[in-house]
């Protein structure tokens, strides 16, 4: 795992473009881990937003103030995404995180771990278990149609006894 630290200062009027961060990089993705408000006005809020110029415009990523000046983030941006992070409000936001390696350096556990998680979820998911059991019961019931006719005969015998 060769991750490399990354940081960038975003100010009002000075956005950060992910394409510029990743285009000549040897890394496949950028993981943005935190946003910290620095030099903010005492009672004002600063909004960190993301846009891609198409269908995503000014999506609020974090709303920061001097009372809540730090926000933990978990944003992955791959090298093909063209995101722009911008700030509205007085103050600057320091973004930090790390670059994810690409190619052979990528952590195989990212893939294998996810498969293991999927297996665990299937075994523990009560909805999936219920649906699987329902299917099994339907197959078991339709496998012995003669049993149903026996029950019908027993019911008609009981009805005749009541009369």
Q: How much is the average pLDDT of 145-161? A: 52
- 31 and 82 in a common domain: yes
* Residue 161 falls inside a structural domain: no
Spatial contact of 85 and 7, defined as CB atoms under 8 Å apart = no
Q: State if pTM tops 0.75.
A: no
Rounded Cα–Cα distance for residues 84 and 56 (Å)? 10
Q: Report the DSSP pairing between strands 92-101 and 70-78.
A: unpaired
- 27 and 95 in a common domain: yes
* Residue 162 falls inside a structural domain: no
Spatial contact of 97 and 30, defined as CB atoms under 8 Å apart = yes
Q: Which of 71-75, 101-105, 159-163 has the highest mean pLDDT?
A: 71-75
- 78 and 20 in a common domain: yes
Domain CATH code at residue 19: 2.60.120.340
Spatial contact of 38 and 91, defined as CB atoms under 8 Å apart = yes
Percent of the chain with pLDDT over 90: 29
Q: Which of 64, 83, 106 delimits the end of a domain? A: 106
pLDDT digits (tens, 9 = 90+) for 76-122: 988 778 889 999 998 899 999 998 887 654 444 444 444 444 444 44
Domain boundaries, position 147: 110-156
pLDDT of residue 55: 82
Q: Per the structure, how many domains does the chain have?
A: 2
């Amino acid at each position: 795992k060769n991750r490399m630290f990354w940081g960038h200062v975003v100010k009002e009027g000075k956005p950060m473009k992910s394409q510029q961060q990743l285009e000549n990089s040897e890394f496949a993705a950028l993981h943005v881990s935190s946003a910290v408000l620095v030099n903010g006005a005492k009672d004002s809020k600063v909004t960190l937003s993301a846009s891609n110029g198409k269908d995503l415009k000014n999506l609020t990523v974090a709303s920061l103030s001097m009372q809540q000046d730090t926000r933990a983030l978990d944003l992955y941006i791959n090298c093909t995404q063209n995101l722009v992070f911008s700030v509205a409000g007085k103050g600057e936001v320091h973004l930090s995180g790390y670059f994810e390696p690409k190619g052979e350096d990528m952590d195989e556990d990212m893939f294998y771990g996810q498969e293991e998680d999927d297996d665990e979820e299937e075994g523990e998911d009560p909805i999936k278990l219920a649906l699987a059991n329902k299917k099994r019961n339907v197959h078991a019931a339709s496998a012995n149609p003669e049993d149903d006719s026996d029950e019908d005969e027993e019911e008609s015998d009981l009805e005749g006894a009541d009369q």
